[in-house]
Amino acid sequence: MNTGKIISSSLIAGIVALLITGFVFAQEKKDEVKTTSEIKEVQGKVTAVGKDYIAVAYQTDLEKGVEYEIFLPVGNEVRLVHKRKISDIHLGDSVKVAYEEESKEYDPEKVDKNRKAKTITFLKPAEISPEPPVEAPDDAGLSLKGLKGE
């Protein structure tokens, strides 16, 4: 009978050890983060710009009435092409922005993406639409009678 107790105790201890080991490995796998970094490009019109950010509208869906825009933080290490400083870029200007997208995948359902502009290439200034000409009032609709007081 003593050997039966020893075997059952050993069996229970083995199961507990397996459960604890499985839990530890599951925690290690859960803490494992898959990190990827990729350089991407977007081209479009500037919709917002500041000393530490730029927003670019890169696609317009006329059927849905939707404009797709990307907001990118800009650091001190950003490289500017055809401009000396970011304050020289204005709303409506056409630009091409190369940015780094870093993805951290904790599990298939939770992915954090961080983007940062690396190179901003100025392509062309904003198009200035001419103002419509001011039309003179129709002479047929006016009646001129002379000076006031006569």
C-alpha angle 117/123/129, rounded to 5°?
120
Q: How would residue 88 be classed by pLDDT, with cut points 50, 70 and 90? A: very high
pLDDT for the residue 135: 64
Residue 77 sits in which domain range?
Answer: 33-124
The verdict on residue 41 lying in a domain is: yes
pLDDT for the residue 9: 73
Strands 66-81 and 94-107: unpaired
Between the CA atoms of 73, 77, 81 and 86, what dihedral angle is there, to the nearest 10 degrees?
Answer: 50
Q: Give me the CATH number covering residue 116.
A: 2.40.50.320
The verdict on residue 79 lying in a domain is: yes
Mean pLDDT, rounded, for 11-20 = 71
For residue 46, which amino acid is it? Answer: V
The verdict on residue 40 lying in a domain is: yes
Mean pLDDT, rounded, for 73-78 = 93
Structural domains of the chain, count: 1
The verdict on residue 94 lying in a domain is: yes
The verdict on residue 25 lying in a domain is: no
The verdict on residue 4 lying in a domain is: no
pLDDT digits (tens, 9 = 90+) for 34-48: 899 999 999 999 999
